[in-house]
Amino acid sequence: MPKIVNHEQRREELARAVWAVVVRSGVEAASVRTVAAEAGWSMGALRHYFSAQDELLRFALYAMTRRISLRVRHHLEHELRVQELLEELLPLDEERHGEALIWLAFMAKSRTDPQVDELRTTAWHGGRFISRVAVAHYAKVPLPQGNSIPLNDDALEREAEDLHTFIDGLTLQGANYPDQMPPVLQRELLRRQLDALRARVGEA
């Protein structure tokens, strides 16, 4: 019988190989040759799936953002714990630290690749949506129903802006300065930020 190939699984292998190369050596090092070597594939086998570096890199980035989206969706579909939801965006373990480094590495590429730039914008709206969810939950108002829909209350929308900016800054420091900003400190800073937010919007 012919061997049955799980193409989705093989694409996932390639995505993980790209992530490993990018974390270790940067986006420019993630050529078809280096990714094939990382995955233990021949270049011919890799080119069966992706013919060029840009196509391979875009796939890996989309796969990573999809993985994060699935984790976020899990929180939204079950009992909502705001701190746990927001922690999905922070570099708190090896996997999420790698995701943050990959994302930061691809941001420079977004200036010259329209498709990556489109994903950058989509991800920004996703981060703002999650921040709005957190604020709305604490304020006991209806949760936003779309990534681009602001909260009805201007004061609450400003809280979401502030929280989004805080999360981005914490992610940046946690990714680039892991010794100075270890996971335990990231969680403590987030907890304090959310305690202050809950007090403000609860009083409002």
For residue 18, being part of any structural domain is answered with: no
- Read off the pLDDT of residues 37-84 as tens digits, 9 standing for 90 and up: 998 988 888 888 888 888 888 888 888 889 999 999 999 999 899 999
**Quick one: pLDDT at residue 136?**
96
- Read off the pLDDT of residues 151-169 as tens digits, 9 standing for 90 and up: 999 999 999 999 999 999 9
Distances from the Cα of 117 to the Cαs of 22, 106, 108, in angstroms?
18, 9, 9
| Nearest residue to 64 (alpha-carbon basis) of 28, 96, 27 | 96
Number of folded domains that form the chain: 1
For residue 1, being part of any structural domain is answered with: no
Q: What is the rounded average pLDDT of the residues 20-41?
A: 86
**Quick one: pLDDT at residue 111?**
77
Query: What does the alpha-carbon distance between residue 39 and residue 41 come to, in Å, rounded to a whole number?
Result: 5
Let me know: does 119 contact 202? Beta carbons within 8 Å: no
Query: What does the alpha-carbon distance between residue 15 and residue 41 come to, in Å, rounded to a whole number?
Result: 13
For residue 36, being part of any structural domain is answered with: no
Structure tokens at 186: 């990231």
Query: How confident is residue 19, by pLDDT bands cut at 50, 70 and 90?
Result: confident
For residue 20, being part of any structural domain is answered with: no
Range of the domain at 150: 65-203
Query: What does the alpha-carbon distance between residue 114 and residue 64 come to, in Å, rounded to a whole number?
Result: 18
**Quick one: pLDDT at residue 194?**
97
Q: What is the rounded average pLDDT of the residues 90-96?
A: 92
Query: What does the alpha-carbon distance between residue 122 and residue 132 come to, in Å, rounded to a whole number?
Result: 15
For residue 16, being part of any structural domain is answered with: no
pLDDT of residue 1 exceeding 60 = no
pLDDT of residue 204 exceeding 60 = no
pLDDT of residue 171 exceeding 60 = yes
Query: How confident is residue 2, by pLDDT bands cut at 50, 70 and 90?
Result: very low
For residue 78, being part of any structural domain is answered with: yes
- Read off the pLDDT of residues 113-149 as tens digits, 9 standing for 90 and up: 887 888 888 899 999 999 999 999 999 999 998 888 8
**Quick one: pLDDT at residue 203?**
57
DSSP string across 52-76: SHHHHHHHHHHHHHHHHHHHHHHHH
The structure tokens 């796939």 sit at: 59
Contacts of residue 36, defined as CB under 8 A and 6 or more positions apart, other chains included, come to 17, 42, 43, 45, 46
For residue 180, being part of any structural domain is answered with: yes
Give this prediction's pTM: 0.85
For residue 37, being part of any structural domain is answered with: no
Distances from the Cα of 157 to the Cαs of 12, 132, 144, 160, in angstroms?
37, 7, 11, 5
Let me know: does 160 contact 82? Beta carbons within 8 Å: no
CATH number for the domain that contains residue 168: 1.10.357.10
